[in-house]
Amino acid sequence: MNGKLYAIGTGPGSSDLITVRAARLLGQLDLLYAPAGRRGGDSLALSIVREYLGEQVEVRERHFPMSTHDDEKEQVWDEVAEEMAQEVAAGRQVGFVTLGDAMLFSTWVFLLKRLQGRVQLEVIPGVTSFAAIAARAIFPLAMEQQSMAVVSCTAPEAELEQALRQHSCVVLMKVYGRFAKVRDLLDRLELLPHALLMAEASLPNEQCFRSLGDLGNEVALPYFSTIVVNRAWLSATSNSTTKEVL
């Protein structure tokens, strides 16, 4: 049997939000790579898929530094890609798990750049975090002629403002540490009634905030916090099965 590399999107966090295809594939792998957790903790991606792994699978966690030193990052990607290529060449079925979808804001793409054309590979898509947020908060994204933008709050404020002015729906990722700035921008654009913040959607610690104007600057937000804005929908009137903290 020829070796192959599979990039597997785990979905947003709950184990049963991975695809049936991913669940079946995880039972058949020889080897699974998972990005190691921050601060030496367990890999979230690994914890999502663990129940589906076959007994034969060897699991290798690899730490990918968030370092601002590009050289250090590049070296880690190079090493892991080389290791994967050798395992596939040896005929093994090799997986790599990545949170959400594999092709959207995923570290997988750094490996892809190094491996495309070198090994046989297949990508299994996953449910994105914003789809899970919309579902849990029962808060629609775009519909019909509307448009959606997905941006990172690390972008310059002018870019965030432009997206918020031009699109019906905007997903603001990586809110962590930038909440006050983003809240003030939403306030200035009169979009607070159309916004909600969700952290850890579909996970046990899921939190949903719908009155962002009432939140203090120093609110402690989990790392995976996202704001969704839909100017055609009022966030306060959406009902929800979500545990509301406000």
Indicate the angle between helix axes 157-166 and 179-188, nearest 10 degrees. Answer: 40
| Contact residue for a copy of itself among 1, 20, 66, 220 (CB under 8 A) | 20
Pairing relationship of beta strands 31-35 and 58-62 according to DSSP bridges:
parallel
Would you count residue 17 as binding a copy of itself (CB under 8 A)?
yes
Binding residues for a copy of itself, how many (CB under 8 A)? 63
Q: Which of helix, strand or coil describes residue 122? A: strand
User: Which residue among 40, 41, 117, 204 contacts a copy of itself (CB under 8 A)?
Assistant: 117
Question: How far apart, in Å, are the Cα atoms of 132 and each of 30, 63, 204?
Answer: 30, 26, 14
Among 16, 70, 71, 190, binds a copy of itself (CB under 8 A): 16
Give dist(CA 15, CA 45) in Å, integer.
9
Q: Of residues 47, 73, 152, 161, which one binds a copy of itself by CB under 8 A?
A: 152
What's the closest the beta carbon of residue 169 comes to a copy of itself, in angstroms? 8
Three-state SS for 7? strand
Footprint (CB under 8 A) of a copy of itself, residues 132-151: 132, 134-136, 138-151
Tokens of 209: 């905030």
Q: Of the ranges 39-47, 79-87, 88-96, 129-137, which one interacts with a copy of itself (CB under 8 A)?
A: 129-137
Pick 136 or 183: Cβ nearer a copy of itself:
136
- Name which of 40 and 233 has its Cβ closer to a copy of itself: 233
CA angle 47, 51, 52 (to 5 degrees): 115
